[in-house]
Structure 1
Amino acid sequence: MEGTSRSWHPKLADPSGMRQAKPRFSGKTMVIDKGLGINALEDLLETAAAHIDMIKVGFGTSPLYPRKLLERKIELAKRYGIRIFPGGTFLEVAVTKDVTDLYFKGITALGFDGVEVSDGTIELPRDARSRLIAQGKEAGLTVFTEYGKKCWGSTIEIEDLIRTVRTDIRLGAELVTIEGRESGAGVGIFDADGACRDDKIQAVLDRIEKPEQLLWEAPQKSQQVHLLNMLGPDINIGNVAPQDILSLEALRRGLRSDTFDFILDHKSRAGLVYELTFEI
């Protein structure tokens, strides 16, 4: 540290020199909350709020909390400038039970400022998906949509994905999530072992004009490393476990060996390769 400053020098805090401060245009991180208590959430936000952009209250867990506790969680996230929304499965339940009006009234009354529109478990026609996006916007919510099925072995249909992304964004969705589940295996861009299907990823990137409009669900560290090295540190990543926020941010900044190249210019990379080769 220089002089009497109590802050880390920028070259140490972010050796990549590429991270944006919140509110970010890209490089967003979404946390999946599968049951954090209020004290755990307070600890998480005190420690890592600067590195969290969205919190998803996973699946359909929202009605399982005591109402006052859930309201406190929502208020706390918003106090730290973090979007918070229920998992898309909860809306799919509302669609199935034909109570979507009650759903939107309920989540806005609680204080949620986002909504996820998905069809991971149900079949949702395009016109119904469009209506839900419009309903979310009319309710004053930030709309996040999701593409992909949750069933084991499901994969990405490229043409359908491209149409979905373009239409959702045109209708006002902020981001379109590529389904990866909380397991990150056997679905979407991941094979049965959780490895990335690079051909699918590249096929998507070849057709999407603005990749910053996508959010990649990648719960496993190996997936995060692979996607960051393949697509760059400022991709949007979701379904990140609360305990992994700082480790993911370290990856984004080149503060872990897995992404050390982010801090090197072309000459430095060449020198590093030479030195390693020489030592061997």
Structure 2
Amino acid sequence: MKVTSHLDWNPMLVDPTGRRQNKPRTLGKTMVIDKGLGLNGFEDLLDTSGAHLDMIKIGFGTSPLYPQQLLRKKIEMAHAYGILIYPGGTFLEVAITQNAVSSFYAMIVNLGFTGVEVSDGSIEMDRKLRNKLIETGLEEGLSVITEYGKKCWGSSIEVEELIETVTLDTEYGAELVTIEARESGLGVGIFDEQGNCKDEELSRVLSAIPGQEILLWEAPLKNQQVHLLQLLGPDIHLGNISPHEIISLEALRRGLRSDTLSFGNARS
């Protein structure tokens, strides 16, 4: 076979589904959780997966543990790839408990973060405060991602409460509402102690929400990603993905793995 100097992949091989959006995407967003990548690892992540990555969450309350110049560099690199970057919601919960919310917002804006996560996974928060935190984020020019669900083992979804949360959060300006599953994906939210999806709870949630495009499902485990993609389609938003699994998840979305090969057969 003659070798040419440049040859592109057949589009049918790049995306057998024929439906994957380019960035900036409105469907099928992927969020990675960064639990401590150094600059070299972060740069490798962006070089290999930047086109398939929409959001980076600097996990938990780890943001102040980095050398500040290193953190600024990571944020700057995310900007260059058109990636929304924000600290974990637990860090804002710490700011609430320490009466340092104003300082928190001032610092994350100064550092260059482009988003904020408003959550109450580890604390109790009334509706008035939640609304205020969303409004403050928007006033600071940040994209606001909210989160529903408690982090404690065995916690589940209260559908009526979720409906109210999604409705009010989006009315106040939240772009997405995250469904909590922690970084483990075990014994929390829609997943049982073995990490299997509780389909009955999932169905109740979907029947009550006006559109699944406003939900970001935390699904750190491969079997969870496959199950949700098969059940809800490749255009769902998925989060808490490990940095080394972004390409693997993108292959699942496009029908480039055996688990989702049938996605390519549905091409219209």
Report the TM-score when normalising by structure 1.
0.93
> Which residue of 2 is the match for residue 47 of structure 1?
48
> Which residue of 2 is the match for residue 222 of structure 1?
223
> Which residue of 1 is the match for residue 68 of structure 2?
67
Residue 258 (str. 1) matches residue 259 (str. 2)? yes
- One-letter identity of the residue aligned with 2:156: T
> Which residue of 2 is the match for residue 95 of structure 1?
96
Find the residue that maps to 2:238 and give its secondary structure: strand
- One-letter identity of the residue aligned with 1:18: R
> Which residue of 2 is the match for residue 199 of structure 1?
200
Give the deviation of 1:6 after TM superposition: 2.5
Residue 18 (str. 1) matches residue 29 (str. 2)? no
CA distance in 2, matches of 1:99, 1:221: 37
Residue 176 (str. 1) matches residue 196 (str. 2)? no
CA distance in 2, matches of 1:225, 1:5: 34
Higher Cα radius of gyration:
1
Which deviates more, 200-209 or 180-189? 200-209
- Does structure 1 conserve the Cα–Cα contact (< 8 Å) formed by 2:17 and 2:266? no
> Which residue of 2 is the match for residue 232 of structure 1?
233
Give the deviation of 1:210 after TM superposition: 1.5
Report the TM-score when normalising by structure 2.
0.97
> Which residue of 2 is the match for residue 272 of structure 1?
none
Q: Deviations over 1:247-273 (max 9, x none)?
A: 00000000000001101149xxxxxxx
> Which residue of 2 is the match for residue 161 of structure 1?
162
List alignment gaps of at least 5 residues for structure 1: 267-280
- One-letter identity of the residue aligned with 1:208: I
Find the residue that maps to 1:219 and give its secondary structure: coil
- Does structure 1 conserve the Cα–Cα contact (< 8 Å) formed by 2:146 and 2:177? yes
- One-letter identity of the residue aligned with 2:154: G
Find the residue that maps to 1:116 and give its secondary structure: strand
> Which residue of 2 is the match for residue 6 of structure 1?
7
Q: Considering only aligned residues, what root-mean-square deviation do their CA atoms show, in Å? A: 1.4
- One-letter identity of the residue aligned with 1:191: D
CA distance in 2, matches of 1:212, 1:252: 15
CA distance in 2, matches of 1:154, 1:210: 24
Find the residue that maps to 2:133 and give its secondary structure: helix
- Does structure 1 conserve the Cα–Cα contact (< 8 Å) formed by 2:87 and 2:117? yes
Find the residue that maps to 2:197 and give its secondary structure: coil
Give the deviation of 1:4 after TM superposition: 6.6
CA distance in 1, matches of 2:192, 2:55: 26
> Which residue of 2 is the match for residue 242 of structure 1?
243
CA distance in 2, matches of 1:146, 1:166: 13
CA distance in 2, matches of 1:26, 1:213: 9
CA distance in 2, matches of 1:3, 1:173: 49
Find the residue that maps to 1:45 and give its secondary structure: helix
Find the residue that maps to 1:206 and give its secondary structure: helix
Q: Give the 3 Å change call, closer, same or farther, for CA 170–3 of structure 1 in structure 2.
A: farther
Q: After TM superposition, where is structure 1 displaced by more than 6 Å over at least 4 residues in a row?
A: none
Q: Give the 3 Å change call, closer, same or farther, for CA 10–176 of structure 1 in structure 2.
A: same
> Which residue of 1 is the match for residue 80 of structure 2?
79
Give the deviation of 1:5 after TM superposition: 4.9
> Which residue of 2 is the match for residue 271 of structure 1?
none
Give the deviation of 1:37 after TM superposition: 0.3
List alignment gaps of at least 5 residues for structure 2: none
- One-letter identity of the residue aligned with 1:139: E
CA distance in 2, matches of 1:250, 1:5: 23
CA distance in 2, matches of 1:113, 1:127: 24
- Does structure 1 conserve the Cα–Cα contact (< 8 Å) formed by 2:32 and 2:239? yes
> Which residue of 2 is the match for residue 135 of structure 1?
136
CA distance in 1, matches of 2:173, 2:19: 28
Give the deviation of 1:3 after TM superposition: 7.8
Find the residue that maps to 1:85 and give its secondary structure: strand
Bigger relative contact order (CA 8 A; separation at least 6): 2
Which deviates more, 203-212 or 173-182? 203-212
Q: Percent identity?
A: 62
> Which residue of 1 is the match for residue 57 of structure 2?
56
Q: Deviations over 1:114-141 (max 9, x none)?
A: 0000000000101100000000000000
